[in-house]
Copies of this chain bind each other. A is one copy, B any other.
């Protein structure tokens, strides 16, 4: 197997090609709507959800170049969530990945609608896959579950609800599992469904990796600098957000990150042989600097 970052680039480049072509052919009217959607879709980012989707398919011996629709749907949902999350009524963030956030660039009304359009587009894309076979329908349903009122949106809602309130480990676990982990677990589970493999291991791996992702995010927020993060550091604690630092302290959060990494690695036992990349991904998220 190639070196980890080369392999990551292989998956993310494959996705960037799909996304680039998709955005270039995007003809939605009025132009401001398509421009806003494209702006945020092409604002970069690690593409971790499509990468996880492709890597898990690959680990299960399935082709991934043919899974364009669900990969794009994953990124559309992630992107809409960032646009809405940055809006003044939510996190009110002016910067995203080092560039003006969508509403800073296009205005709040247009940003709201670009988000709505991306969420709708995700389902357009997912529904277009459903005709292929029962497995694709199941994968689309897993994505929908992860994104909606049992998944990401409920996590956002809980995050808002607990802001400034007394909340501890249980509340934090609820927020993170739903706000972050479910949409990280979704591509792993979707790949398992397409491959006809056990979705439980996939979900366990994804949820642990998702929690790890959030813990390292919170750690970066206290130790990061703006240039590298592409967003304003220290913002979460200033706003009394419920974070791993607040609940566990910095050392406790580091310990918990190790535990989640170990949990994700253990879950890979159910994945068969080709788990090298998914194992190294855990280590990479544990050690990430942005």
Measured CB to CB, the residues of A under 8 A from B are 28-30, 32-34, 37, 80, 84, 87-90, 103, 107-113, 115-117, 119-121, 123-124, 126-128, 130-131, 134, 137, 140-141, 144-145, 147-151, 153-154, 156-158, 160-161, 174
> Which one of B103, B111, B116, B144 contacts A124 once the chains associate, using CB atoms below 8 Å?
B144
- Whether A144 lies near B123 (C-beta < 8 A) is yes
> Which one of B28, B33, B112, B130 contacts A87 once the chains associate, using CB atoms below 8 Å?
B112
* 12 further interface pairs, Cβ-Cβ under 8 Å (given A29-B174, A88-B108, A123-B126): A30-B161, A33-B149, A89-B108, A112-B112, A113-B160, A116-B153, A119-B119, A120-B151, A120-B153, A127-B137, A130-B130, A131-B137
Max chain B Cβ within 10 angstroms of own Cβ: one of A37, A84, A153: A153
Residues of B within 8 A of A157 (CB): 30, 32-33, 110, 113, 117
- Whether B112 lies near A33 (C-beta < 8 A) is no
CB distance from A72 to the nearest CB of B (A): 13
CB distance from A157 to the nearest CB of B (A): 4
Residues of B within 8 A of A151 (CB): 120
Cα distance A29–B119 in the bound complex, in angstroms: 21
Residues of B within 8 A of A110 (CB): 157, 160
- Whether A149 lies near B130 (C-beta < 8 A) is no
Residues of B within 8 A of A137 (CB): 127, 130-131
CB distance from A205 to the nearest CB of B (A): 24
Residues of B within 8 A of A123 (CB): 123, 126-127, 144, 148
Cα distance A33–B153 in the bound complex, in angstroms: 9
- Whether A161 lies near B32 (C-beta < 8 A) is yes
Cα distance A89–B103 in the bound complex, in angstroms: 10
Residues of B within 8 A of A37 (CB): 149
- Whether A148 lies near B124 (C-beta < 8 A) is yes
Max chain B Cβ within 10 angstroms of own Cβ: one of A33, A131, A158: A33
Residues of B within 8 A of A134 (CB): 131
Q: Which 4 A-B pairs have the closest CB atoms?
A: A120-B148, A89-B108, A117-B149, A33-B157
Cα distance A128–B130 in the bound complex, in angstroms: 11
Cα distance A141–B160 in the bound complex, in angstroms: 33
- Whether B127 lies near A144 (C-beta < 8 A) is yes
Cα distance A190–B107 in the bound complex, in angstroms: 35
